[in-house]
Copies of this chain bind each other. A is one copy, B any other.
């Protein structure tokens, strides 16, 4: 990919894809940009602009072939084949994420979960056996897994991130409320629920 793709465009791709999958489920074969974007509260022009970074896919006056656009978006995002994901930290949030159905819709699957707690190791959560964190490196290398989710407490997150990087993980979704120090070539996203809620309250009180 040569052109610069704005971060917001990247964030919207899975959102478009998810709605296209909904339209497919409803039996739609063709959809206008409005049909794709109105349920998302995104202007159709934005959608067309976002897509234009990757090519020309719709037909004027006809709209988009839903199945075709699904295939294209899956390829663009890189989820045309199922993406294997590991998760470390099987607490309440970790267990909820293992069971979360929203990942599989987008062809991403948590295939291994790890913890350090002997009480948890060996237990099965939604068909996934919780393994000892000590086994992570070997499994990640053997299975060539690129993507990891961190759900451990804040004070363990950096250590787990280092372990992941050493094992070959290249993209990390971090739920621990702490900023990770990572090599430049590792991609990381943060889900910081408390600070999201805090920002909302700031707006409510101030704006």
A residues engaging B (CB < 8 A)?
1, 5, 10-11, 13-15, 17-18, 39-42, 76-79, 83, 85, 92-93, 95-97, 99-100, 102-103, 105-106, 108, 146-147, 149, 170-173, 177-181, 187-189, 191-207
A110 to B93, CA, bound (A): 16
Could you list some 18 contacts between A and B, CB below 8 A? A10-B199, A10-B202, A11-B195, A13-B198, A13-B199, A13-B202, A14-B198, A18-B177, A41-B180, A78-B202, A79-B198, A83-B201, A92-B95, A92-B96, A108-B198, A147-B204, A187-B203, A189-B197
Q: In the bound complex, do residue B192 and residue A15 qualify as a contact, i.e. CB atoms below 8 Å apart? A: yes
Interface centre among A105, A187, A198 (most CB of B within 10 A): A198
Contacts A102-B194, A194-B106, A198-B79: A203 and B173 contacting too (C-beta < 8 A)? no
Cβ of A77 to closest chain B Cβ, rounded Å: 5
Contact of A200 among B100, B147, B200, B201 (CB under 8 A): B147
Cβ of A58 to closest chain B Cβ, rounded Å: 21
Q: In the bound complex, do residue B179 and residue A197 qualify as a contact, i.e. CB atoms below 8 Å apart? A: no
Residues of chain B lying within 8 A (CB to CB) of residue A193: 97, 100, 102-103, 173, 191
Q: In the bound complex, do residue A204 and residue B187 qualify as a contact, i.e. CB atoms below 8 Å apart? A: yes
A102 to B92, CA, bound (A): 12
Q: In the bound complex, do residue A177 and residue B96 qualify as a contact, i.e. CB atoms below 8 Å apart? A: no
Residues of chain B lying within 8 A (CB to CB) of residue A192: 15
Q: In the bound complex, do residue B204 and residue A171 qualify as a contact, i.e. CB atoms below 8 Å apart? A: yes
Residues of chain B lying within 8 A (CB to CB) of residue A99: 92
Q: In the bound complex, do residue A197 and residue B173 qualify as a contact, i.e. CB atoms below 8 Å apart? A: yes
Further pairs besides A78-B202, A149-B197: 13, Cβ < 8 Å: A11-B196, A13-B202, A15-B179, A18-B194, A40-B179, A77-B201, A78-B206, A93-B100, A102-B193, A103-B193, A147-B197, A187-B203, A187-B204
